Amino acid sequence: MARIVMKFGGTSVANLERIRHVAGLVAEEAKGGNEVAVVVSAMSGETNRLVALVDALDADSDKGAAIEDEYDSIVASGEQVTSGLLAIALRRRGLKARSWLGWQIPLRTDMAHSKARIGEIESSAIGPSMAAGNIAVVAGFQGVNVEGRISTLGRGGSDTSAVALAVALKADRCDIYTDVDGIYTTDPRIAKDARRLNRIAFEEMLELASLGAKVLQTRSVELAMNYNLPIRVLTSMADVGDHNPGTLVCHEDETMEERVVSGVAYSRDEAQITLLRLKDAPGMVAKVCRAMSEANVIVDMIVQGISRSDNSANLTFTVGKRDLDKALSALKTAQGEIGFEGIKSDSDVTKVSVVGIGMRSHTGVAQTMFEALAERNINVEVIATSEIKISVLIDSEYTELAVRALHSAFDLHTTPAPKVSAP
Ligand code: ASP
Ligand code: MG
């Protein structure tokens, strides 16, 4: 007998037919006396619809008071509906089930409305209920703050609800069901020969999640890594009883294949800004970064090109595409104080990255990467690296070409050899 947390995303509960199917998958796990908690998202499209309602009213005036508390109460309602529907579907199959909202558990969060962090999850009510044979159907994405108000965990947050619940319940497994059958070496829509990975290390998944492979919310992977809780990503579209291996996201010691690079990710959500002829003196980059952080803009990649002849520098950096206008207006305001001659910007850029824990111990990754790009005549604008990742910024037009070139340069279409442990 095991304790299992299953999570179903929006497409998995998109309509009543899918919800009935999910009930079948849950019933299968509950067989044989397993204790099961199910975390659900809202029906696909529902959260967007609710957000749009809030935005439309909010746009009536820019003078009004903050509305984040009511935003949370409204957008959390999508999950209330699916948790209730799934509980009914389970009862109709003869199982015992009940829905749980965030405040009923309670799943406590901090006060940061619309992007709250989970503090603690009480298991004194849900635990005994599960032990008594009730399937717990938990509304994902939501919690309650110290003031008793509903909070939400940021878009995609029901992944984090599931991982946190699995930790709190000391679950044996946390299975995240979605509309793809696992984590791939790259986007299969771009590279037809992309392969499903059997296993991927937490660190690699973290890089891929934050680089735009939108399968898991980044925070859920951080949480799983901190508690060393393996998560399995698998499809909810398979038939009940099908062999459905998915991808196990786990500690690097548990990954079983020998490879240097595990995946190629890309993000089109980037914009590039260049400040021209900045004075080449200490503190200039700090001033630029201060202007950006005061405007609440996150700066990602940075490069500086210095011209010795006139003591000036061009500083290029990237921000999220959504933040470009905000960043440009903050920089124009601060131009006199920072001291530069002009600004250029470009939002037709893509960040392409190769990720792999093997980079820590193998050389030559950068060479392979830049040669593959050079052979296709793809110009690299900005470069950023970490211990397990190299990212380049390129013209968006070459996104597909670059992803395919790197996927084949690192032989990601072939199955790697199993790990050999050192003698
Ligand atoms: N329904 C929420 C969203 O669309 C949370 C989730 O699906 O994880 O962002
Ligand atoms: Mg999701």
Instruction: From residue 50, give the alpha-carbon distance in Å to each of 73, 78, 148, 159.
Output: 10, 8, 22, 19
Provide long-range contacts, Cβ within 8 A and 24+ apart, for 378-386.
Answer: 378/402, 378/405, 381/272, 381/316, 381/349, 382/272, 382/301, 382/302, 382/303, 382/316, 382/317, 382/318, 383/301, 383/303, 384/300, 384/301, 384/302, 386/207
Residue 62 pLDDT class (50, 70, 90 cuts): confident
CATH number of the domain at 264-409, out of 3.30.465.10, 3.30.2130.10, 3.50.50.60, 3.40.50.1820? Answer: 3.30.2130.10
The ligand 1 site (C-beta within 6 Å) comprises: 9-10, 41-42, 47, 78, 140-141, 155-159
pLDDT score recorded for residue 163: 98
Q: Looking at residues 84-97, what average pLDDT do you find?
A: 98
Closest residue by CA, ligand 1 atom 9: 155
Q: Given the structure tokens 């957000």, which residue do they identify?
A: 51
CB of 43 within 8 A of CB of 14?
Answer: yes
* End-to-end CA separation in angstroms for the chain: 37
> In this structure, how many other beta carbons lie within 10 angstroms of the beta carbon of residue 267?
22
Q: Amino acid letter at 405?
A: A
Q: How far is the CA of 218 from the centre of ligand 1 (A)?
A: 13
Residue with CA at minimum distance from ligand 1 atom 6: 156
- Average predicted confidence (pLDDT) for the chain: 94
Ligand 1 atom at minimum distance from 141 CA: 5
User: Which atom of ligand 1 is least distant from the CA of 153?
Assistant: 5
pLDDT at 417: 77
Question: Of 225-229, 259-263, 272-276, 414-418, where does mean pLDDT reach its minimum?
Answer: 414-418
Q: What is the mean pLDDT of residues 96-108?
A: 98
- With 90 as the cut, is the pLDDT of residue 102 above it? yes
Q: What is the pLDDT of residue 212?
A: 66
For range 218-236, the mean pLDDT:
96
Taking alpha carbons only, the member of 408, 399, 366 closest to residue 383 is 366
| 104 beta partners | none
The model's pLDDT over 287-305, given as tens digits with 9 standing for 90+, comes to 999 999 999 899 999 999 8
- Per-residue pLDDT for 210 more than 80? no
**Residue 247's closest CA among 216, 211, 218, 210?**
216
Q: How confident is the model at residue 232 (pLDDT cuts 50, 70, 90)?
A: very high
The type of residue at 132 is A
- Give the ligand 1 atom nearest the CA of 154: 9
CA 45 to ligand 1 centroid distance, Å: 9
Share of the chain above pLDDT 70, in %: 99
C-alpha distances out from residue 351 to 21, 264, 267, 320, Å: 38, 11, 5, 11
Q: Tell me, what's the pLDDT at 421?
A: 60
Ligand 2 centre distance from Cα of residue 156 (Å):
4
- pLDDT, tens only, 13-58: 999 999 999 999 999 999 888 999 999 999 999 999 999 999 999 8
Q: Could you give the CA distance from residue 213 to residue 190 in angstroms, rounded to a whole number?
A: 13
Domain boundaries, the chain: 3-57+67-255, 264-409
pLDDT for residue 165 is more than 80: yes
Ligand closest to CA 162: 1
Q: What is the mean pLDDT of residues 133-149?
A: 97
- Closest ligand 1 atom to 42 CA: 1
Spatial distance between the Cα atoms of 317 and 272, rounded to a whole number of angstroms? 6
- Ligand 1 nearest atom to the CA of residue 9, by list position: 7
Flag whether pLDDT at 420 surpasses 90. no
Whether the per-residue pLDDT at 370 is higher than 70: the answer is: yes
Question: Looking at the DSSP assignment, which residues form a beta bridge with residue 152?
Answer: 142
Q: How confident is the model at residue 15, as a pLDDT?
A: 98
What's the CA-to-centroid distance between 276 and ligand 2, angstroms? 40
Q: Which CATH class is domain 3-57+67-255?
A: alpha beta
**Which listed ligand is nearest to 179 at the C-alpha?**
2
How far, in Å, from the CA of 85 to the mean position of ligand 1?
A: 17
Distance CA 96, CA 19 (A): 16
| For residue 74, pLDDT beyond 90 | yes
User: Cβ atoms within 10 A of the Cβ of 294, count?
Assistant: 11
The C-alpha atoms of residue 288 and residue 315 are separated, in whole angstroms, by 9
Dist. CA 123–CA 158, nearest whole Å: 18
